[in-house]
Amino acid sequence: MSPSLPRSGSCAPFFQWSLPQIVRLQQSDPAAWIFWDYAGRPRALAVLGVIPSARRIAFGREHLRIMPWEIGIWIAGIVLLDHYLCGWIRRTFNSALPSTVPGHYPEPHGWLNYVDIVFGMALVAYSEEFMFRRCARVLFQKYARPWVMVLGTSVLFGAYHWWTGVGNIVEAV
């Protein structure tokens, strides 16, 4: 039997995670923007840790289904695909539909840049993997075929990045 999130636990982390994302769009100072970007992520992870069934899904150990060297090939391929194809998709859509880009990522400088690169990237990767690859996957898995589950989590991931414009949503999906 596959694990499932209770109804009360399925949306709570998403709300904790999403509300600060809306607040950050009003920030012009890079430090304030980054603070609000980071604010919801640990809270969402904490909510997952408090709900027992969500904790089993989000933080439970899973068997690695591919070889470690395959992970490196996938990462390299995704980076190259993003750099050469997806960047073009994002720029093309966003330049054709500029009103769909309500926010942009600030350019921090100095120590804030290093904190953002080291801590921020780890926090973003960690929280998004748990939310989309684990929790959302379980929610979709219960009601859909595997290809619908993959498409559904991809659309949800893209929709979460709505503030960067239609180009980034299309790229993410």
Residue 4 has a pLDDT of 55
So what's the pLDDT on residue 9? Answer: 52
Dihedral sign, CA of 34, 35, 37, 43?
positive
Q: Per-residue pLDDT tens for 70-90?
A: 989 998 998 898 888 888 888
Residues 6 or more apart in contact with residue 48 via CB below 8 angstroms:
9, 13, 54, 55, 57, 58, 59, 130, 135
Look at residue 96 in the predicted model and tell me its pLDDT: 93
Q: What is the pLDDT of residues 88-109, one digit of tens each?
A: 888 899 999 988 888 777 888 8
What is the Cβ-side half-sphere exposure of residue 56, based on CA atoms within 13 angstroms? Answer: 8
What's the rounded mean pLDDT across residues 39-55?
84
Kindly report the pTM of this predicted structure. Answer: 0.71
pLDDT in tens, 114-150: 988 888 888 888 888 888 878 888 888 877 788 888 8
Q: Domain ranges in the chain?
A: 7-60+68-172
Q: Which two tokens stand for residue 29?
A: 């100072």
Give residues with Cβ within 8 angstroms of 108, minimum separation 6.
Answer: 30, 31, 34, 115, 116
111 burial (CB, 10 Å; 0-12 / 13-18 / 19+) is: exposed
